[in-house]
């Protein structure tokens, strides 16, 4: 039997706000974010996987997954998360770890 996740946590992105940014709107259109979310929802329902949307103010990207500090000056161009505690990690991986703990934090 194939293993499946018991839970999927997705970030709530401010897509409407992001569409106002000319550079971001093209990328969002190409990545079909709405359609992606719709399909994830559908698959979760089909396979009995819990689907959670993290609050859009949850600082998944800005929070250090090691010490919990919030990096206020994180820029979109920063692809590596670097914390004062010495923790250094790929930005998206850091955000994913924070999202995986979302339920525990809220
Ligand atoms: Zn840290």
Question: Is residue 47 one of the residues assigned to a domain?
Answer: yes
Question: Is residue 2 one of the residues assigned to a domain?
Answer: no
Segments forming the whole domain that contains residue 81: 7-105
Identify the pLDDT of residue 28: 80
Q: Which residues contact 39 (CB under 8 A, 6 or more apart)?
A: none
Q: What beta strand segments (E) does 1-106 contain?
A: 7-11, 50-54, 80-82, 88-90
| Ion ligand 1 contact residues with beta carbon within 5 A | 64, 66-67, 69, 83, 85, 87
Specify the number of domains making up the chain: 1
Identify the pLDDT of residue 97: 96
Which H helix or E strand runs over 93? helix 91-100
Question: Is residue 92 one of the residues assigned to a domain?
Answer: yes
Q: What is the mean pLDDT of each run of 10 residues along the chain (106 residues)?
A: 84 81 83 87 95 90 97 93 97 95 75
Identify the pLDDT of residue 24: 82
Å from CA of 33 to ligand 1 middle: 30
Å from CA of 87 to ligand 1 middle: 5
Question: Is residue 1 one of the residues assigned to a domain?
Answer: no
Q: Cα–Cα–Cα angle for 91, 65, 62, nearest 5°?
A: 55
């Amino acid at each position: 039997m194939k293993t499946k996740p018991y839970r999927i946590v997705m970030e709530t992105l401010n897509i409407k706000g992001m569409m106002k940014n000319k550079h971001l709107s093209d990328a969002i259109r190409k990545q079909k974010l709405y359609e992606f979310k719709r399909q994830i929802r559908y698959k979760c329902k089909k396979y009995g996987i819990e689907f959670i949307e993290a609050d859009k103010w949850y600082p998944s990207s800005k929070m250090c997954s090691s010490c919990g500090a919030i990096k206020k000056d994180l820029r979109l161009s920063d692809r590596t998360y670097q914390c004062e505690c010495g923790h250094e990690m790929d930005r998206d991986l850091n955000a994913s770890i924070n999202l995986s703990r979302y339920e525990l934090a809220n």
